[in-house]
Structure 1
Amino acid sequence: MKNEALISARKAKGLTQEQLAELLNCKKSSVSNWENGYSTPKLADAFRVAEILEQDVNHLFLVNKVQDSQTKASSA
């Protein structure tokens, strides 16, 4: 499930995936994987993303995971 909160927050700051990756000192593919829901950042990176994007870390990463798990549970 795509992380729409992360995508929206990054775009609102006017950053590309590559620019965000540079600020985080990581690969663009990492940012892409986070946005596409293939992986999540390490805790320290998650807080740094939230700081850069001026968003709550829970809003960017936790809310998406909770919604995803609830969707899976209701379809079981």
Structure 2
Amino acid sequence: MKNNRLIKARIKKGFTQEELAGMLGYTKAAVSNWENGVSVPRMKDAFALSKILEKDVAYLFYNQKEQDSHTKTKIAQ
């Protein structure tokens, strides 16, 4: 699932994927993978991203729909 919050936050700050990747020591492909939901950054890098983009790490990487789905499944069991 695409991480639209991460994409919007990056664009709002005026960074390209390549610029953001460079700040964190990653490749543009890694940032693209995070934005496209292929992978997620390591915890320390997620916090670095949240600082750079001035957004809470939970806002950037927490998906309410998935959490609700997981919680409802657990309760039903």
Give the drift of 1:8: 0.2
Asked whether 1:8 is paired with 2:8, we answer: yes
Shift >6 Å, 4+ stretches: none
Q: Partner letter of residue 4 of structure 1?
A: N
Give the 3-state SS of the residue equivalent to 1:8 in structure 2.
helix
The unaligned stretches of length 5 or more in structure 2 are: none
Q: Which of structures 1 and 2 has the bigger CA Rg?
A: 2
Identity %: 51
The residue number in structure 1 matching 2:38 is 38
| TM-score normalised per structure 2 | 0.83
**Residues 9-33 of structure 1: CA deviation (Å, up to 9, x unaligned):** 0000000000000011111111000
| TM-score normalised per structure 1 | 0.84
Q: Partner letter of residue 20 of structure 1?
A: L
**Residues 13-71 of structure 1: CA deviation (Å, up to 9, x unaligned):** 00000000001111111100000000000000000000000000000002x3x424539
Q: Partner letter of residue 58 of structure 1?
A: A
Residue correspondence of structure 1 range 42-61 to structure 2 within 5 A: 42-61=42-61
The unaligned stretches of length 5 or more in structure 1 are: none
The residue number in structure 1 matching 2:65 is 67
- RMSD of equivalent CA atoms: 1.8
Alignment coverage as a number of residue pairs: 71
